[in-house]
A and B are shown apart, each in its own frame.
Chain A
Amino acid sequence: MSEELFTNLAIFVLSLLVGFEVMSKIPATLQTPMMSGANAIHGVVVVGAFVIAAEANSWVFYILAFFGAVFAAINVAGGYTVTDRMLGMFDRKPKAKSEGDDSK
């Protein structure tokens, strides 16, 4: 096993453990936004889209790089936008702040 592979494997396993740990019981209210937020995080695959586009050198690879870029960009841009929209709704609590602040 190369040193590089071992390092990557160690990072992978430890990140899994962090993921299990950081995700203890969360309120049902936040489960859908959380899923959407996690969905946005795997949009990091967009970094990979850059890496392959930088290596592409023939039409097959350009086509693959194009689809990689489109897919990853949808995931990352859409993911963060929709998560923020959902969570933004919990922010504006009109509460009983008398009249005149329901401008939105």
Chain B
Amino acid sequence: MISFLIRRLLWVIPVLFTVAIVTFFLMHRAPGGPWDREKPIARQTQAQLNARFGLNKPLWFNPDAAEAAAARGENIFQQGRAFLDSQFFNYIIGAAQGNLGPSYRQVGREVEEIIMEKFPASAKLGLVAVIFSVVVGIPLGILGALKQNTVFDYLSLFVATIGVSIPSFVIAILAILFMSRMFGVPPIRRPNEWEGLGTAYILPGIVLGLGTMAFITRLTRASMLEVKRQDYIRTAQAKGLSTRAVIMRHMLRNSLIPVVTILGPAVAALVTGSFIIESIFGVPGVGEEFVISITRRDYSMIMGTTLFYALLVALGNLTVDLSYGFLDPRIRTRH
């Protein structure tokens, strides 16, 4: 179990590294530099700014600095560090220490500072979405499976199909319009309504969680139907256990394992779905900030947020893999 855990933990590093390489490479293909302002900045000032933020260094590797270090007679580690004294590796080393560099558009602010300031709202939204999807999705799936081919079953299948197929941002728009026209819920909330855990989070949370909820419903239903046919369920019934005990102790435990496995992709969907939902509902979170930075071409902000999201997704997958190994002993031995 320990070696499985360590191997799984270490796998996050190459994944994030690759995401960083791809993002960095692509971002440097984009035209326009960090100092593009409406009023052009003097060439000298630009050179000074570049020197200050290390933007005058080579993009990937710095063989000149390595040679210089070798000429100074420094040891192999210092030479290696000098060889990697490039924009990319300095960024990576900084990122590993939690330093994502300055925002190109919000002058004087660091990317990680903005992310940390905006993260609580996103986390609260995600929490509402996860709670909604699990608390509604699992019972709906169980109900559908236990009362197969009845009204309940069709209802749960219907909700699941809608939720799986219609993209959340379309549902978000229709929900906002519906709520504001029918019940007078204001489409744009006041800024102070997002402080604390207010009612403002309910609608965006439900919309964000809808896709995951639908997926959980479908999966729970399918796996309950599978388990229902197993011999050990018949055994449990034959030895006279109450229906309640059969369902709770024998069916649920076994049928929820596949549900846990999809929570990883579900976390990814929640994380990446969140920025579009946040931007539509005006939730002051990382996602809204990300969308704004896309429209403003704030490259350092886009890059920092992408890495942050990739880290969240990787950690989400990791937790799920670990809990899966914990739930089902067969997985542990296989790895």
Does chain A bind chain B? no
Q: State the A residues within 8 Å of B (CB).
A: none
